[in-house]
Structure 1
Amino acid sequence: MVTDLVTDTMPGGEEMASFSCRGCAGDDVVPVVDLGAQPCADHFPPVDTPGEDPRWPLELWLCRGCKLVQLGPVEPQLPEPPLAVESATSIAHAEASVKELLADHPDLNGRVVFEFASHHGGSWLDHLRAAGCRIATGDERADLVVDVHGIAHEPAVGEMMKLRADRLAPGGLLVLEFHHLLPLFIGNQFDTIRHGHWSYLSLGAVIRLGALYGLAVESVQRIDMFGGSLRVMLRHEDEAQPDESVLETLQDEAAAGISDEIQLAGFQEAAWHAAGALHDELVRHQQAGRMVLGYGAPSKAPVLLDLSKVGTDLLPFTVDAAPGKHGRRIPGCGVPIRSIDDLRAVQPDVVLILTWDIADEVISQLEADAGGWGATYLVPLPEPHEVVG
C-alpha cells in the first residue's frame, strides 16, 4: 500500500503522522487543510441509535511531487451501504455522455468496453451496450475504458491508475471523469471533502500519475456535474495527440494556485467563513419566525452541517428521494431524514437545498406540485444565497 504511516518528530517533541502519497508513493506529502474530526459521510444511522456518531480526522494533504491533493493518514471507516439513488440529472448525463462520446469517436462504435465501478456518475454500460459495444470479459483488454467518478473512492489512487492503464488495449481510449479540484477550490465546495473520497484530482496530477504507467492526456472537457467535473481522455503515450484544451486547463489550474500549498491552505479559512455564514442565515430565519427544512441527505451534508453548527434546533428535518435513508439521521448533527411527502405536507417557508449541485432539478420538482407553495430556496455554497423558484 502507498499509505504506510510513518512518524515524524516536531520541534516541540510531539509526534506528527505522515504517510507516502496515495498516487506516486513519494514521501514529500504535507498537510494543507484540516476540517477537524468529522463523521463518516455515508453512514446514516437509524434516527434512534443511541450515543454519539463516531468521527475521524478529515484533512487534505498535498504531494509536492505529483501534486495530488488527497485525504491524510486516516484508515477506511465504516462501510458505505447502498442507500442513495441516482438523480435524474445524473441519469440523463450518462445517456448524453455516451451519445456525445460515440459521435466524437465513431471508431469506438461496436468495440470492446470496460467500465470501472462508477459510484455516483451513473453507469454508462447500458447505453454502450445499446450502441452495440461489447463488454470485456475476464482480463480482456478494452478499446474503451471508462471510469465515471470511481477512482476518487479508491485509497490507493496510483495503483488504480495502473489497473486502468493495464485494461486499455493498444489504440484504445481511457475516459476519466471526476469532480475537479479547480471548481472545488474556487467555488468553496468544502462539503465535497469527505471520508471515502480519497483524492481530489487536478488535471496536473492526472497527467503526472498517468505518465507513471505510460498514459498521456489527449483532451479535456469541463462538465457541469457535481458542482464542476472534468472529463479527461487518455491514451498510451505513444498514441496521444494533446489538443489545446489540455494547456488551457493547466493554465487555469496554475492561475488558481491549486497545486500550491500556501494557496490551498487558504481554503480552510474560506470553509469556516461560509459555514459560519450558513449558521447565521438559519438563525436569521428562525428569529424571523420562518420555518426552514432541508432537501437532500447527500454524503456532503454531514460535513456541511457539522462545520456550520447546524442541528435540529435550526433544521428540524430534511427529506430525501432514497427510501433507504428514511428513518435515519445525518451523522454528527442528528438531523432526521424523512420522505419528500413530509416536506410537501409541512410546506416550510424556506427549503435549504443540501443537494446544491442539482438545485435546478430539486426546485423544478417541488415547483411542479401545483406551482409550489411560495417557498424560498436557500443554496448554501459558495455563500448562502436564495434562488427563485
Structure 2
Amino acid sequence: MTEGELVSFNCRGCASADVVPVVNLGEQPCADLFPPAETSGPDPRWPLALWLCRACTLVQLGPVEAQIAEEPLAVESATSRAHAEASVKEILRDYPELLGGVVFEFGSPHGGSWLDHLSAAGSRLAGVGEQADLVIDVHGIVHEPQYGESLKLRADRLAPGGLLVMEFHHLLPLFVGNQFDTIRHGHWAYVSLRALRNLAAHHGLTVESVRQVEMYGGSLMVMLRHTEDAQPDPSVDVVLDDEDAAGIADEVQLGSLQEAAWHAAGALHAELIRHKVAGRTVLGYGAPSKAPVLLDLSKVTTDLLPFTVDLSPRKHGRRIPGGSMVPIRPIDELKAARPDVVLVLTWDIADEIVAQLEADGGWGATYLVPLPEPHERA
C-alpha cells in the first residue's frame, strides 16, 4: 500500500480520513469469480486488507475498487430459508403493530428474503419511493462500497414510528473465531454493533434492540428506529460490552487476526498432508465465496484436495479461483468416491451438510471443519 493510497482513502462509513490498515491477507482472487475448470489461469487478484476507522470504528476493505462483477451462482441453503421464515414469525410476534403494515426490503445476493413470508402474513410491499413501517436489510448492505451512504438510504425509507431490521455477519465472532475466510472482495464492511450505532446516529437512527443469531458463523439482528421513537433495551449494552472486552475497536487487537489467519492456514495444510501421508482420501464439500481465500492462504491445491462438490449446478464444471485450481463437481461424485475425509468448506452450515450426506447412512467419513483451527466435527 502506497502513501498515496493512505492519503486518498476515506472511511466508507463516516468519510473520515483517519483510517489505518490492521489486517493484510495479500493479493487474493475475486471471491465470486469461478472460472471454467479447464482454464489454466492465472486469475486476477487484488489486495485484500482490513482497515479500521478510528473515528466511527467501522472495519472495512481498503481502497481497492477494480473488481470483476460476477452474477451469484450459489443456491440458497435450507438453513437460510428456514431462518428467514423463523425471523418473520419472531418479528411479527414481538412487534404485532407491524402486522398488515407496509414493508420494504433491500435485497441481498445471499438470498434470505423475508418478503414472501411477510406477504403471506398480510404485509403490503411499499410503492416506488414510499416509506415503510418495516424496512429490512438481511446481509445486503455489506455489498455496497459506501456503507454510510447506503445506511442513509435505509433511514430515508423508514416511516415515522417504523422499524428498521438489519442482519449482518458480526465482527466479534469473525475475530474471536478466526473466521478469516469471510474477509473477501465484494464484502466492503465488517460491522460491529458499536460501529453501526455510531454511524446510525449520523442519520437520525438509534439501536433499540439486538439479537445474536447463528447465520454465517455468527450474525447480529439489529432493530433500529428514528431516534425520537427509540427505546433501547438492555440487549444493546450486553453486545457492546462483549465487543469492548474483545477489543475489536482496537487496532492492535484487530491486527492479531492476521497472525491467527496464517497460523490456521498452515495448520490446515499440515492436516491435509497428514491425511495424505496416511493414505486417506480427502474431498471437499462446498464452493462458497469464502473458499478462495481459505484454500489460497492454506496453499491447498488438487494434490491435497482433488475436487470439491456443490449443490449449485451452475458451479459444476468450474473451479475455485486462485492458486488452488480445485474443480467443482456434483454432489453425487462425492458420494460415489466415498472419501475417508470430507473437508467442509461451507463450515457455517456444517450441520445441514452432514445431515444431507448421512441421510442414507453415509459411509463412515470423517468431517473436517477448517476453522478456527482444523478439527473433526463431533
Q: Same fold (TM over 0.5)?
A: yes
Structure 2 Cα separation of the partners of residues 284 and 67 of structure 1? 41
1:218 aligned to 2:202? no
The one-letter code matched in structure 1 to 2:196 is V
Q: What TM-score does the superposition give when structure 2 sets the normalisation length?
A: 0.98
Residue 51 (structure 2) aligns with = 61
Q: 1:17 to 1:172 in 2, by over 3 A?
A: same
Structure 2 Cα separation of the partners of residues 134 and 374 of structure 1? 49
Partner deviation per Cα, 1:250-302 (whole Å, 9 max, x = no partner): 00000000000000000000000000000000000000000000000000000
Structure 2 Cα separation of the partners of residues 300 and 138 of structure 1? 35
The one-letter code matched in structure 2 to 1:237 is T
Q: 1:7 to 1:36 in 2, by over 3 A?
A: closer
Q: Per the alignment, in what secondary structure is the counterpart of residue 225 of structure 2?
A: strand
1:346 aligned to 2:337? yes
Structure 2 Cα separation of the partners of residues 218 and 227 of structure 1? 23
Q: CA deviation at 1:118?
A: 2.2
The one-letter code matched in structure 2 to 1:188 is N
Residue 368 (structure 2) aligns with = 378
Alignment check: 8 A CA contact 1:7 1:18 kept: no
1:125 aligned to 2:115? yes
The one-letter code matched in structure 2 to 1:57 is P
1:314 aligned to 2:304? yes
Residue 8 (structure 1) aligns with = 3
1:46 aligned to 2:36? yes
Alignment check: 8 A CA contact 2:175 2:257 kept: yes
What does 1:101-250 align with in structure 2 at a 5 Å threshold?
101-250=91-240
Partner deviation per Cα, 1:159-189 (whole Å, 9 max, x = no partner): 0000000000000000000000000000000
1:357 aligned to 2:348? yes
Partner deviation per Cα, 1:24-61 (whole Å, 9 max, x = no partner): 00100000000000000000000012330110000000
Alignment check: 8 A CA contact 1:76 1:196 kept: no
The one-letter code matched in structure 2 to 1:8 is E
The one-letter code matched in structure 1 to 2:281 is M
Structure 1 Cα separation of the partners of residues 336 and 11 of structure 2? 50
Residue 295 (structure 2) aligns with = 305
Structure 2 Cα separation of the partners of residues 16 and 214 of structure 1? 30
Partner deviation per Cα, 1:331-378 (whole Å, 9 max, x = no partner): 011100000000000000000000000000000000012x10000000
Residue 272 (structure 2) aligns with = 282
Q: Per the alignment, in what secondary structure is the counterpart of residue 122 of structure 2?
A: coil
Structure 1 Cα separation of the partners of residues 49 and 165 of structure 2? 28
The one-letter code matched in structure 2 to 1:210 is A
Structure 1 Cα separation of the partners of residues 38 and 13 of structure 2? 40
1:366 aligned to 2:373? no
The one-letter code matched in structure 2 to 1:163 is L
Structure 2 Cα separation of the partners of residues 235 and 71 of structure 1? 27
Structure 1 Cα separation of the partners of residues 69 and 85 of structure 2? 29
Q: CA deviation at 1:81?
A: 1.4
Of 300-309 and 42-51, deviating more is: 42-51
Q: CA deviation at 1:76?
A: 4.3
Partner deviation per Cα, 1:295-337 (whole Å, 9 max, x = no partner): 0000000000000000000000000000000000000111000
Q: CA deviation at 1:121?
A: 4.8
Which runs of 5 or more structure 2 residues have no equivalent in the other structure? Answer: none
1:296 aligned to 2:286? yes
- Computed over aligned residues only, the root mean square deviation of the Cα atoms, in angstroms, reads 1.2
Q: Which runs of 4+ in 1 moved over 2 A?
A: 6-9, 15-18
Structure 2 Cα separation of the partners of residues 95 and 16 of structure 1? 44
Q: CA deviation at 1:226?
A: 0.3
Q: Per the alignment, in what secondary structure is the counterpart of residue 215 of structure 2?
A: coil
Residue 30 (structure 1) aligns with = 20
1:257 aligned to 2:247? yes
The one-letter code matched in structure 1 to 2:325 is G
Structure 2 Cα separation of the partners of residues 50 and 309 of structure 1? 17
What does 1:65-84 align with in structure 2 at a 5 Å threshold?
65-84=55-74
Q: CA deviation at 1:117?
A: 1.1
Structure 1 Cα separation of the partners of residues 66 and 152 of structure 2? 21
Structure 2 Cα separation of the partners of residues 7 and 291 of structure 1? 44
Q: CA deviation at 1:219?
A: 0.3
> How many pairs are equivalent?
377
The one-letter code matched in structure 2 to 1:339 is P
Alignment check: 8 A CA contact 2:205 2:224 kept: yes
Q: What TM-score does the superposition give when structure 1 sets the normalisation length?
A: 0.95
Which runs of 5 or more structure 1 residues have no equivalent in the other structure? Answer: 1-5, 10-14
Q: CA deviation at 1:387?
A: 1.4
